[in-house]
Amino acid sequence: VRLIAVAVPVPGLGPLTYTVPDGLTDPPVGARVLVPLGKRVVTGVVTEIGGPASEIGKDLPTSDVRASISAPKPLIDILDGDAFLPAPVVQLASWVADYYACGLGEAIAAAMPPRAWIESERHARITDAGEAWLLRERRARRDVLQRLSGGRVVSVAALAKSVTGVHAVLASLQKDGLVDLTQPLKGAADASRAVRVATLTAQGTDDLPEARLGARQQQAIELLRAAPDGITLADFARNDIPAESLERLAKLGLVRIERRRVERDPFGASYVAQTFRPADEPAGETGPKACAAYVLTSEQQAAFETLAARAANRAYHAALLHGVTGSGKTEIYLRLARAVREAGRSVLLMVPEIALTPAVAAIFRAAFGARVAIQHSGLSEGERYDQWQRIRRGDVDVVVGTRSAVFTPLADLGLIVVDEEHDGSYKQEESPRYHGRDVAVVRARAAGALVVLGSATPSLESYANAKAGRYELIVLKRRVLDRAMADVQIVDMRQEYATEGPDVILSRALRASLAARLERGEQAMVLLNRRGFATVVFCRECGETLECPNCSVSLTVHKAAHRARCHYCNHSVLLPKQCGKCRGPFLEQLGFGTERIEHDLRALFPQARVARVDRDTMRRRGAIDALLATFAAGDLDVLVGTQMIAKGHDFPRVTLVGVISADVGLGLADFRAAERTFQLLTQVAGRSGRGERPGEAIVQTLYPNHYSIRHACRQDYEAFYDDELRFRQGMRYPPSVALINVVVKARARAAAMDDAGAIADAMRNPGGPWKVLGPAPAPLGRLKGEHRAQIFIKGTQRNAMRKALLTVLDGRPELKRRTIVDVDPMSVL
């Protein structure tokens, strides 16, 4: 018997073994197969192939009892003759499943394009006997038969929503021959989009029986004469020529209508490319075309030459490119990409969030044209599917994408660039909880490629790796055109409160600077990393605060919506007029967010054109692009926003950046709080003064002496790294140790603590080369109605820690499904 290992879409489950039935040839690794799984038929991906002599069956049940009930089943069908996922991507996904302790199917799913999974859907239909017998039945059996009466085919899933326990009822009805159950597959193996295109036939070109044609039809012929490639019926419809006109012409033999496969082009409607200059390119140049003429600084040139030499070796090499904001990293990426492409290998450029950093994507698109594909979550399913297919076919040799693009099916990768490698969005906060940057390094190693991690504020992990010699460190100390860094002024808000009163939000210094900018017609950005109008609603009579019923946080006031909303589960209530507890009418709002800043700025500067960018105002797709384009064009004076405005774009007219509460986040019980604050402040200060005029930044804080704020204001990365590393070593946090965070969810607080405690105990006894901390209630002790407790496992041997943890969890299957395992967590909230 020939056996294969298959990854199936089941959380936490390893590969399953199936047999290949006689008459089918072995599918290759990476091919999709349809396999039976319990009562269902699902799509799986072949991860290993082997004959009876191979090791492949070693995970099969060994005990006689188990073997008798679950011998390998034969697969049902093979969907792809060739590998759907390239074998190296299957290997990479296997590594992810292992390292991040998730199911193989989850890791494989992360590498798959949308619409690639086909599953069976269970359908039920009443039989003639069922119709005849209906009235003699009672209760649930009658209810189900009644719903099926009339002969329509109904999906069991839909039925299950309105009838509980429908599965058992259907099974018994089927046994009695009253219903038929079928399992048709839903979805198609190929999710391409086809359009109908009309072209002229030879007859239509030459002899026209003009007299017999209507005006619309004649117009259609005219249009087609000018378009030898044809015109889609949708385009005709837009010009008021209905499809029927073309169909009639086709009947006359004048026009041919064919179905053509088309690509959904994510660049189609993008105006980003024309609007923005790349963040790292100097003002004065006008877009990607200028690249050829652009002369590298000596620093850039040296960095480029070093990296190009590494790429030419065609062997794994990792480099950390530490360049201050505005030092021209993008230009180096671009030239490296060009060199690697010319050497015949392909290039992957990873960016944190394309919606926020369109410039880098745009410059690559401009430089490499149709050989570039783009992959990110902002695309529609269809667009993503088509882009993925282009890459898989080899029509593309440069891919620009977000973290999931690390699994892109490019062949023969020669270069992976991870831009802004420190960015938290590279870490996926749901299973598989992988870090795109770290997976990129693993992929580069397997592919024999150069991987370049770029940042102005490298993560502690990457910088430590560079210092340890695992990555080559390349530094760009100077900005292009020798432009000065922004002048940063710290405002101590404790002093401001002492002289201006406790309600002050915008300091005197910031107000004065804003007024000066408005007078001079320059632009300003104001950053506060917190949404909403007020952070707390508080009763002055009884002290009660308005809290989320599902989560352990207070509700944030959103004034425009007249609601108070939870930022974790989105629960919201109308703003109350009186206290829910004592009925007192004296409700006070404390704290502030971006909505309040916008409100205050409008009041303070009524003539200024102010706009706000945060998740509340930018819900629509493309809204942020449009607003940032307006700002770039100079049609706004002040942009208020959360960290969404801190990244990517380059606005040369901005000469002032104000940071309202630089210490938001420092209060959080998260070991990365200082690092995140340093990164945000450095990035935002880098936003100011990117044009001809020098920039200024004003940073308001309650902790002017905190090292993350002090070093960010001086843009002194080295000093920050030293202080932060000392803190991490003292507290035994990454990168000085490996960390695994285990969160257990339960309905009751005590149950969560007990269950987490059981895991902690099992990890301590007999223990190993690691330390276990906890259990403790998670910082967000209650989230979406569930209580959460967590433990930390710290040590230097990540593999041993993970293996021991999985052994513990496998012994408690009922606990495992309520447990989140986060290896190398970004955030421990």
* For DNA, the closer CB: 13 or 250: 13
> Is the four-CA dihedral 753, 759, 764, 768 of positive or negative sign?
negative
Among 1, 153, 157, 481, binds DNA (CB under 7 A): 157
Tracing tokens 């004003």 back to the chain, one arrives at 698
Judged by CB under 7 A, which stretch of 11-19, 274-282, 365-373, 471-479 contacts DNA?
Answer: 11-19
Backbone angles phi, psi at 711, to 5 degrees: -70, -35
Could you give the dihedral angle defined by the CA atoms of residues 276, 281, 283 and 286, in that order, rounded to the nearest 10 degrees?
-60
Minimum Å gap between C-beta 292 and DNA is: 51
Q: Give the angle 333-339-342 at the CA atoms, nearest 5°.
A: 140
Task: Decide: is 142 part of the binding site for DNA (CB under 7 A).
Answer: no
Among 25, 162, 164, 286, binds DNA (CB under 7 A): 164
Among 28, 36, 287, 382, binds DNA (CB under 7 A): 36
Task: Decide: is 171 part of the binding site for DNA (CB under 7 A).
Answer: yes
The CA distance from 16 to 18, in Å, is 7
Minimum Å gap between C-beta 110 and DNA is: 14
Task: Decide: is 16 part of the binding site for DNA (CB under 7 A).
Answer: yes
Task: Decide: is 813 part of the binding site for DNA (CB under 7 A).
Answer: yes
Q: C-alpha distances in angstroms, 793 versus 106, 673, 824?
A: 23, 20, 10
Q: Determine the residue type at 705.
A: N
Among 1, 11, 21, 184, binds DNA (CB under 7 A): 11
* For DNA, the closer CB: 585 or 811: 811
> DSSP secondary-structure letter at 146?
H
Contact 433, 823 (CB under 8 A): yes
Among 167, 371, 602, 749, binds DNA (CB under 7 A): 167
* For DNA, the closer CB: 96 or 441: 96
Task: Decide: is 49 part of the binding site for DNA (CB under 7 A).
Answer: no
Minimum Å gap between C-beta 111 and DNA is: 18
Task: Decide: is 56 part of the binding site for DNA (CB under 7 A).
Answer: no
Minimum Å gap between C-beta 429 and DNA is: 15
Among 28, 50, 72, 287, binds DNA (CB under 7 A): 72
Q: C-alpha distances in angstroms, 811 versus 102, 752, 806, 815?
A: 16, 17, 9, 9
The CA distance from 154 to 123, in Å, is 6
Task: Decide: is 70 part of the binding site for DNA (CB under 7 A).
Answer: yes
CA nearest to 403, candidates 438, 358, 453: 438
SS3 535: coil
Give 520: exposed, middle or buried? Use CB within 10 Å, 0-12, 13-18, 19+: exposed
First to last CA, the chain: 49
Among 24, 49, 60, 134, binds DNA (CB under 7 A): 60
Minimum Å gap between C-beta 151 and DNA is: 23
Minimum Å gap between C-beta 407 and DNA is: 20
How many residues interact with DNA (rule CB under 7 A)? 37
Task: Decide: is 817 part of the binding site for DNA (CB under 7 A).
Answer: yes
Task: Decide: is 140 part of the binding site for DNA (CB under 7 A).
Answer: yes
Q: Determine the residue type at 762.
A: A
> Is the four-CA dihedral 751, 757, 762, 763 of positive or negative sign?
positive
Among 165, 253, 549, 667, binds DNA (CB under 7 A): 165
> Is the four-CA dihedral 276, 282, 284, 289 of positive or negative sign?
negative
Residue 534, beta-bridge partner list? 557
Tell me the two tokens of residue 431.
């299973």
Contacts 24+ apart (CB under 8 A), 159-163: 159/124
> Is the four-CA dihedral 334, 340, 346, 349 of positive or negative sign?
negative
* For DNA, the closer CB: 168 or 188: 168
Q: How many residues does the chain have?
A: 829
Task: Decide: is 40 part of the binding site for DNA (CB under 7 A).
Answer: yes
Outline where DSSP puts E strands in 351-394.
Answer: 372-375
Minimum Å gap between C-beta 426 and DNA is: 23
Minimum Å gap between C-beta 813 and DNA is: 4
732-751: which residues touch DNA (CB under 7 A)? 747
Among 1, 39, 244, 290, binds DNA (CB under 7 A): 39
Contact 194, 382 (CB under 8 A): no
Site string for DNA, 515-554 (x = CB under 7 A): ----------------------------------------
Task: Decide: is 122 part of the binding site for DNA (CB under 7 A).
Answer: yes
Backbone angles phi, psi at 728, to 5 degrees: -65, -40
Task: Decide: is 10 part of the binding site for DNA (CB under 7 A).
Answer: yes
Judged by CB under 7 A, which stretch of 54-62, 581-589, 732-740, 763-771 contacts DNA?
Answer: 54-62
User: What is the β-pairing status of strands 179-182 and 123-126?
Assistant: antiparallel
Among 53, 69, 226, 295, binds DNA (CB under 7 A): 69
Minimum Å gap between C-beta 107 and DNA is: 14
Please give the residue ranges that form the binding site for DNA (CB under 7 A). Answer: 10-13, 16-18, 35-40, 59-61, 66, 69-73, 122, 139-140, 156-157, 160, 164-165, 167-168, 171, 747, 813-814, 817
